[in-house]
Structure 1
């Protein structure tokens, strides 16, 4: 992927707002180390591919961007994602720059892979994240553990799926559910042989 030169603050804002990892090289024409590492930065951009965006900012031409990013030394490489600074490399250190760029590419690859599986049972990962926040809110308020809690339906759905990654959270939710819903969730989630033992454990 080619390196984009940012010529305005609006271009900068638009670029870093992307959900892709964006690496910006803050440099100056009079900076020797900047000139030394520039070909390496270009080569990294060409090898990483389109998973990560690369750009350059001349600190003398774009003072507003430089001040906003708190640039105090050149070269400085800042990594952005969704408008937020996530990492930085100060100085002409090719190894650190390559490692950080590779880490950004791996993160984007994982997100892309998850995106292909983002709909499970008609529920997107984003919707699940919002619902997990609601569940944690319900758990943190014992007075809302009654049968009319609006998150109990989703708790049951999640328990039925037996999501291994959230086993600790599931056990905590199970303890917060009313007895009737505990028995229903366990009966629907576990095999008959193990559900009887589990029901007696969690119904007490």
Structure 2
């Protein structure tokens, strides 16, 4: 069985998967960003840990600039937490896995 990974989101996927979700986490990143590469595996682990509880995805800002602009993402990595289609929390910069888990758990409680 292969490890689950976060969804690689296009604008269309974003509207179909993230906005209708009760709880979602989206990592805005870019391949040239060092801290983003550190956060990437954490986001994939969160996708596995929260499977069935929260939708976890990634948006490459080089491919989806419009989404990044729409959500005011100017610094990466930026992890946006959504509840019922609205951003309810944002963590900017590389953080620990525990911080991301805590933010998700607060939304799920």
TM-score using structure 2 length: 0.87
Task: Compare relative contact order (CA 8 Å, sep 6+) and give the higher one, 1 or 2.
Answer: 2
Q: RMSD across aligned C-alpha pairs, in angstroms?
A: 1.5
Runs of at least 4 residues off by over 6 Å: none
Q: Residue 21 of structure 2 contacts residue 55 of structure 2 at CA under 8 Å; is this kept in 1?
A: no
Work out the CA distance in 1 between the residues paired with 2:93 and 2:101: 13
Structure of higher CA gyration radius: 1
CA offset digits 1:113-148 (Å, max 9, x no partner): xxxxxxxxxxxxxxxxxxxxxxxxxxxxxxxxxxxx
Task: Flag the structure with higher strand content.
Answer: 2
Work out the CA distance in 2 between the residues paired with 1:16 and 1:38: 18
Show the counterpart of 1:21.
23
Gaps of 5+ in 2: none
Shift of 1:69: 0.5
Show the counterpart of 2:90.
88
CA offset digits 1:18-39 (Å, max 9, x no partner): 2420100000000000101111
Aligned length: 105
Q: Residue 48 of structure 1 contacts residue 102 of structure 1 at CA under 8 Å; is this kept in 2?
A: no
Task: Flag the structure with higher helix content.
Answer: 1
TM-score using structure 1 length: 0.48
Show the counterpart of 1:101.
104
Shift of 1:43: 1.1
